[in-house]
Structure 1
Amino acid sequence: MIIMPVKEGENIERALKKFKRKYERTGVLKELRRRQYFTKPSIAKREAMQHAIYVEHMYRDDE
C-alpha cells in the first residue's frame, strides 16, 4: 500500500500528482498488464534478444 503524507494546506492536485508518480514507480500497472496473458519463455527470450539487437544498433548509429 502506498502511503502519501499530505501537508496541511497542500494543494490536492499536487498531492495527487505525487501519488501518481509514486504509483508509477512501483511498477504495479506494468506488472498487471504483463500478467494478463501468458508468454512462452522461448518467445520472451526472442523478444529480449530482438530488443538487445535494436538497442545495440541505436548505440552504434550514435557513434
Structure 2
Amino acid sequence: MLIIKVKDGENIDRALKRYRRKHRDTKLMRELRERKEYTKESVRRRAEVKKAQYKERVFFKND
C-alpha cells in the first residue's frame, strides 16, 4: 500500500500528483494487465528479444 504524507501547507492536488507518480512507478497496473491472461513462455521471450533489438537499434546507433 502506498502512503503519501501531506506536508503542512501543501496543496491537495500536489499530494495527489505525488501519489499518482508513485503508483505509476510501482508498475502495479502493468503487472495486473499482464496477469489478466496467460502468456506462453516462448511468446514472452520473443517479445523480450524484440524489445532488446529495438533498444539496440535506437540507443546504440553507429552513424
TM-score tier, shorter chain, comes to: 0.7 to 0.9
What secondary structure, in the 3-state scheme, does the structure 1 residue paired with 2:56 have? helix
- In the alignment of these two chains, the number of paired residues is 63
Structure-2 separation of matches of 1:21 and 1:50: 28
Q: Quote the offset at 1:8 in angstroms.
A: 2.6
Question: Aligned partners of 1:44, 1:26: CA distance in 2, in Å?
Answer: 21
Spell out, residue by residue over 1:18-43, the C-alpha distance to the aligned partner (whole angstroms, 9 max, x if none).
Answer: 11111111111111111111110011
User: Structure 1 unaligned runs (5+)?
Assistant: none
Change (3 A) 1:10 1:59: closer
Tell me which amino acid in the other structure corresponds to 1:41: E
Q: TM-score, normalised by structure 2?
A: 0.83
Q: Which runs of 5+ in 2 are unaligned?
A: none
Question: What is residue 13 of structure 1 aligned with on the other side?
Answer: 13
